[in-house]
């Protein structure tokens, strides 16, 4: 059965991994002679044929630079690039397509906000409010900008179970008249904690602070609407949502983007250039200096179509919630296994450790069984310290994973315990 979307005419199908798996060529390969069990989706997801084909089709049929060419190929490439922007705006509930800025990934999107908005506006004594579970992408840029501006970083604490202590915003005066920016992850890539971002954004707005959401782990898994969230900026990567590598999105409230200075200078982002000074193009082009990743944007739009054809984000979230519940149950039942993070609702992943087995050794052992999991600090070193570990293993799920794959993971972990005499 094909799941190639055809101009929105196909009736939505339920998210059935047994059916959808055939759309992903890589899932039929073997690793060390075993069928691939790909459980590293929080790092990057695999790509369905429709995405691979959409990207290849750009190069095959209408590769050209966008916006500037006055010829048919250029016009077709521009139309496809701008149609991709519009599709992504609709997908995230953005009423104005000008809010969608194409970047390389979530990291670049977050840096753009930190450097172009934060660095210009933060003053000594201002505060930037983060959480201890941020990915380095939403921590290090703020550290750099705080060091330049004299702003101070503060952190909303975690509760012992791994939830964010959102009550501390008001109770401990964390959000106050000095707070200029609140930048939080929507879904932790380690704990799976889902942040109640709409609540945080409302509180930030009431305090006159800007609200930035790192949605790298939520856009691929949950229905999401930037208008309902009420944030000022939202960042995500295409490659974690079945799209190509090298394309990501910064969504910004248009009035915020208008007031933000450019991040990169060069072609495309200017209106008029003199030898000594320049004026800027309108948003979003003001932030898209140089030749963009046209094929990446078109591939990302194909991924959005694909998510719809798989039943939509509600169906995908329901499937992944079932998988995650199964994984948590299975892992928590295993002897010597510690699973980190709160109970449901949580993101589609489980970070865990097996007593007496280093997570790197475990990942290598699992790989011999064809199972791909992540092991390490997951770009969240402060969180590792908070948990009192140097590293964890992490299994992360997507629309094509099955409960049977989680059972394969369980069996392999049991064999690893024996092998390592744990």
Question: Closest approach of Cβ 307 to ligand PLP, in Å?
Answer: 18
Q: Would you state the structure tokens that stand for residue 142, as one six-digit string?
A: 């703020």
- Comparing CA positions, the residue from 100, 101, 97, 153 lying closest to residue 122 is 153
Query: In whole angstroms, how close is the CB of 161 to ligand PLP at the nearest point?
Result: 19
- Size, binding site for ligand PLP by CB under 6 A: 13
Binders in 89-118 for ligand PLP, by CB under 6 A: 105-107
- With CB under 6 A as the contact rule, the residue among 216, 366, 399, 406 that binds ligand PLP is 216
Cβ 350 vs Cβ 190: under 8 Å = no
In angstroms, give the least distance from the CB of 214 to ligand PLP: 5
Query: What part of residues 153-192 is at the interface with ligand PLP (CB under 6 A)?
Result: 185, 189
Q: What is the dihedral of CA 363, 367, 370, 373, to 10 degrees?
A: 30
Pairing of β 37-38 and β 152-155: unpaired
Q: Which stretch binds ligand PLP (CB under 6 A): 82-90, 210-218, 345-353, 407-415?
A: 210-218
Q: Which stretch binds ligand PLP (CB under 6 A): 18-26, 130-138, 272-280, 405-413?
A: 130-138
Contact by Cβ (8 Å): 222, 195: no
Query: Nearer Cβ to ligand PLP, position 106 or 391?
Result: 106
Residue 151 CB, nearest approach to ligand PLP (Å): 21
Q: How many CB atoms lie within 10 A of CB 66?
A: 20
Which residues in the 27-86 window bind ligand PLP by CB under 6 A? 42
User: Exposed (0-12), middle (13-18) or buried (19+): which is 264, by Cβ within 10 Å?
Assistant: middle
Where would I find the H helices in 195-287? 197-206, 226-229, 254-259
Does 135 help bind ligand PLP (rule: CB under 6 A)?
yes
Could you say which of 55, 126, 163, 214 contacts ligand PLP (CB under 6 A)?
A: 214
By the 8 A CB rule, do 138 and 183 touch? yes
- Kindly state the smallest distance separating residue 35's Cβ from ligand PLP, in Å: 25
Does residue 15 have an active-site annotation? no
CA distances from 294 to 39, 48, 76 (A): 29, 18, 11
237 in contact with ligand PLP (CB under 6 A): yes
Q: Applying CB under 6 A, which residues contact ligand PLP?
A: 42, 105-107, 135, 137-138, 185, 189, 214, 216-217, 237
Active site residues: 379
């Amino acid at each position: 059965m094909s799941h190639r979307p055809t101009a929105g005419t196909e009736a939505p199908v339920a998210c059935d991994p047994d059916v959808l798996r055939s759309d992903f060529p890589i899932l039929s390969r073997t690793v060390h002679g075993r069928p691939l069990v790909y459980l590293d989706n929080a790092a990057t997801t695999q790509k369905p044929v429709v995405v691979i084909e959409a990207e290849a089709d750009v190069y095959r049929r209408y590769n050209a630079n966008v916006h500037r060419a006055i010829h048919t190929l250029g016009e077709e490439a521009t139309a496809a690039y701008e149609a991709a922007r519009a599709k992504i705006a609709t997908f995230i509930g953005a009423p104005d397509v000008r809010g969608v800025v194409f970047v390389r990934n979530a990291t670049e999107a977050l840096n753009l906000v930190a450097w172009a908005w934060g660095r210009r506006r933060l003053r000594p004594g201002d505060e930037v409010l983060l959480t201890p579970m941020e990915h380095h992408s939403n921590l290090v840029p703020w550290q750099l900008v705080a060091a330049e501006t004299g702003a101070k970083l503060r952190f909303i604490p975690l509760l012992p179970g791994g939830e964010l202590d959102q009550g501390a915003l008001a109770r401990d005066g964390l959000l106050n008249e000095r707070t200029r920016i609140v930048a939080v992850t929507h879904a932790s890539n380690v704990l799976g904690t889902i942040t109640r971002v709409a609540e945080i954004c409302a509180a930030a707005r009431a305090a006159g602070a800007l609200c930035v959401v790192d949605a790298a782990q939520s856009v691929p898994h949950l229905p999401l609407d930037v208008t309902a969230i009420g944030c000022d900026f939202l960042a995500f990567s295409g490659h974690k949502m079945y799209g190509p590598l090298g394309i990501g999105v910064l969504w910004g409230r248009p009035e915020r983007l208008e007031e933000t200075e450019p991040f990169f200078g060069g072609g495309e982002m200017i209106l008029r250039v003199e030898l000594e000074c320049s004026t800027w193009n309108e948003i979003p082009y003001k932030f898209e200096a140089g030749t963009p990743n046209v094929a990446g944007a078109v591939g990302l739009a194909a991924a959005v179509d694909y998510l719809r054809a798989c039943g939509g984000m509600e169906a995908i979230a329901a499937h992944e919630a079932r998988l995650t519940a199964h994984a948590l149950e299975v892992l928590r039942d295993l002897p010597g296994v510690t699973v980190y993070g709160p109970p449901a609702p949580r993101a589609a992943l489980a970070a865990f450790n097996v007593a007496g087995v280093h997570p790197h050794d475990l990942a290598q052992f699992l790989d011999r069984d064809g199972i791909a999991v992540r092991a390490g600090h997951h770009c969240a070193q402060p969180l590792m310290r908070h948990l009192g570990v140097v590293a964890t293993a992490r299994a992360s799920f997507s629309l094509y994973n099955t409960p049977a794959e989680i059972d394969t993971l369980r069996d392999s972990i049991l064999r690893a315990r024996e092998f390592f005499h744990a």
